[in-house]
Amino acid sequence: MKRDWLPLALIVALALGALPLVASLPTWVTLTVAGLAMGMMIFMMASGLTLVFGLMDVMNFAHGVFISVGAYAAASVLIAMKAEVQAPSLAANLTAIGPAVLAAIALAGALGWFFERVVIRPVYGDHLRQILVTMGGLIVVEQLIIVLWGPDLIPLPRPAALSGAFIFGDAAIERYRVLAVAVGLVLFGAMWLVLNRTKIGMLVRAGVENTEMVESLGYRIRRLFVGVFVAGSGLAGLGGVMWAMYQESLSAQMGMQVMVLIFIVVIIGGLGSVGGCFAGALLVGLTANYTGFLAPKLALGSNILLMVLVLLWRPRGLYPVGR
Amino acid sequence: MAEPMLRLSGVHTHIGQYHILQGVDFDVARGGLTMLLGRNGAGKTTCLRTIMGLWRASKGNVRLDGHDVTRLATPELARGGVAYVPENMGIFAGLTVRENMLLAARGGPPEAARLAWIFRLFPALEQFWNGLAGNLSGGQKQMLAIARAIVEPRKLLLVDEPTKGLAPAIIGNMIEAFRELKRTDTTILVVEQNFHFAKSLGDTVAVMDSGRIVHTGDMGALVADAPLQAKLLGLSLEAQP
């Protein structure tokens, strides 16, 4: 099967192209790792949304609250296990991080299940109502977070073993960013295996292209919808934990704040394409970091410009999925 | 007289504000190939989609193998042995030929003997087995769509315009493939505009016009009656190679 390597080559070209502009190898290494880490975290948060868009044709503007809910669930566990979090050993840290991550995925996934049944199901096939009810759901859940956890920004110190940086010559690479890259790669690998090596994965890929034909082959697509929605919400929860620890704080609005980047990634990747989402997230992460260093005033608009350029090159995204 | 494999009685279908099927009645005989003919817009595709449960009949009933299936959902109909090849073929372009076939074989991987038979019918599928279905030619995509429908034995095969957009040479291959399929006693209902294809394969025929069946009978009788063909189908159809 012929593979399309051009979007991946574009990521490499972007990174190499930034090197002469940055003009310092240690700084470039630091920025590149930071960009990759940011990209991986955006990928975690966006991968579920792209499948929901592609498979279910649902415009879920409430996806950001799954990120926030995941972060708050994890923060509650981490704050309750403060001693383990502050302990200098990685093993002790992991005894707190493990349950925190599981709580984030479970709570965000459960909220996703509730959303699919109560909010989304009545408005399948109606984009305008989807936008309205998911925006409404977003506001309700954000307010619930404020009621339960309070309106203030909550500080979330990183576990001791994940603080600090590795020093290579003059380059400093934060440990947490290395972890984010590793988790992102493992997640992408796992998603690739599930989508390409299992029958469920084949069904999801087929459903993204043509739900009616999947039903005509005898598969109940609604069950697949629920599964994908819950999994996507759980992944958003995981992304929320990673993002909150990256920012070292969390607020009820944190999910909504990152949604702009997530939508850009989903659009430039190609609706429904996990591979496109991965490539798009890395491009967005790298662009944000290089521009933030080279031209801070352009940082805000750089990813919009990136989206425009990608869509001029490939109007249906980096890896378009046929419909 | 044996119960037909498929019986439509007084079927009406509305799509939005449009009343497309306006009381469709016809039978599809067990083990035969029935051609559903008619001009563009007569309601042929709507008829197949209604049988498949993709659009709901607003009135009337559809019986499959003696059972009322009017209210069954599409997946249940497919599990009950109905295979459907839509007009746009419905292949999954981003999946390989192999993956398309694996999805169609719900009961596990396709049997080797069945697969060998399919490869004899459509040799191109074996050649491009691990290639993306989206990279196949139009004719090869149609072959894949039909192969997917017959990867397991089915009670009823619904095929919507299998010759649409195909070159004459490929249509010839398709006729041979359907002849081979007929030898397996599969019940087949084909919607078709190409009268040459229809008369080469059809055992019986039903003709639609304005959402109703206006003629049913043997294909041989329709082929022998040129004035009836002209009246029911129009000359343009007969003129096709």
Residue position matching structure tokens 């997917």: B148
* 3-state class (DSSP) for residue B128: coil
- As a whole number of Å, the end-to-end CA separation of chain B is 37
Say what angle helices A63-80 and A25-56 make with each other, to 10 degrees: 120
From B75, B86, B132, residue closest to A219, measured CB to CB: B75
Q: What is the pLDDT of residue B238?
A: 45
Inter-chain residue contact B78 with A218, CB threshold 8 Å: yes
| pLDDT band with cut points at 50, 70 and 90 for residue A232 | very high
Interface touch B90/A206, C-beta < 8 Å = no
Residues of chain B positioned with their CB less than 8 A from the CB of A208: 94
Burial letters B148-164, b for 16+ CB under 10 A, else e: bbbbbebebbbbbbbbe
Q: Do A322 and B52 touch (CB under 8 A)?
A: no
Residues of chain A found within 8 Å of residue B141, distances taken between Cβ atoms: none
Residues in chain B within 8 Å Cβ distance of A205: 92, 94-95
Cβ pair A294, A81 in contact under 8 A:
no
For residue A132, the number of C-alpha atoms closer than 13 Å in the C-beta half-sphere is 7
Residue of A nearest to B154 (CA): A217
**pLDDT value at position B241?**
45
Is B16 strand, coil or helix? Answer: coil
For residue B232, the model assigns a pLDDT of 86
Q: Report helix, strand or coil for A186.
A: helix
What is the average pLDDT value for chain A, to the nearest integer?
93
Distances from the Cα of B134 to the Cαs of A206, A271, A273, B144, in angstroms? 12, 18, 16, 11
From the CB of residue B6, how many other CB atoms can be counted at a distance below 10 Å? Answer: 23
> Does the beta-carbon distance from B93 to A322 stay under 8 Å?
yes
Instruction: Kindly state whether B87 is in contact with chain A, defined as any CB-CB distance less than 8 angstroms.
Output: no
Check residue A322 and give its pLDDT. Answer: 63
Helices (H) and strands (E) in chain B, counts: 11, 10
pLDDT (tens digit, 0 to 9) for every residue of chain B, 241 residues total? 578 999 999 999 999 899 999 999 999 999 999 999 998 899 999 999 999 999 999 999 999 999 999 999 999 999 999 999 999 999 999 999 999 999 999 888 999 999 999 999 999 999 999 999 999 999 999 999 999 999 999 999 999 999 988 888 889 889 999 999 999 889 999 999 888 899 999 999 999 999 999 999 999 999 999 888 888 887 444 444 4
What is the per-residue pLDDT across B17-61, written as a single tens digit (0 to 9) for each? Answer: 999 999 999 999 999 999 999 988 999 999 999 999 999 999 999
Q: Which of B84, B100, B103, B155 to mutate to test the interface with A (most CBs of A within 10 A)?
A: B103
Q: Which of A205, A216, A218 sits opposite B95 (nearest CB)?
A: A205
Tell me, yes or no, if A4 comes closer than 8 A to chain B by beta carbon. no
Label residue A113 by pLDDT band (50, 70, 90): very high
Residue B118 confidence (pLDDT): 95
Q: What is the pLDDT of residues A7-53, one digit of tens each?
A: 999 999 999 999 999 999 999 999 999 999 999 999 999 999 998 88
Cβ A1–B96 below 8 Å, yes or no? yes
Residue B122 has a pLDDT of: 93
pLDDT given for residue A1 in this prediction: 53
Spatial distance between the Cα atoms of A287 and A264, rounded to a whole number of angstroms: 12
Q: Do A213 and B86 touch (CB under 8 A)?
A: yes
B238 CA to chain A: closest CA distance, Å? 32
Please report which confidence band the pLDDT of residue A323 belongs to, taking 50, 70 and 90 as the band edges. Answer: low
**Cβ–Cβ gap A217/B92 under 8 Å:** no
DSSP structural state of residue A112: H
Listed by number, the residues of chain B in 92-121 with a beta carbon closer than 8 Å to a beta carbon of chain A are 92-96, 99, 102-104, 106
Cβ distance of A221 and B75 shorter than 8 Å: yes
Shortest Cα–Cα distance, A235 to chain B (Å) = 24
Cβ distance A206 to B52 less than 8 Å, yes or no, reads: no
Query: Which DSSP letter does residue B132 get?
Result: B
Q: Which residues in chain A touch residue B79, judged by CB atoms under 8 angstroms apart? A: 218
Alpha-carbon distances of A199 from A193, A272, A274, rounded to whole Å: 11, 17, 17
- Kindly state whether B132 is in contact with chain A, defined as any CB-CB distance less than 8 angstroms: yes
Q: How far is A30 from chain B (nearest CA, A)?
A: 37
Of B170, B159, B232, B167, which Cα lies nearest the Cα of B195?
B232
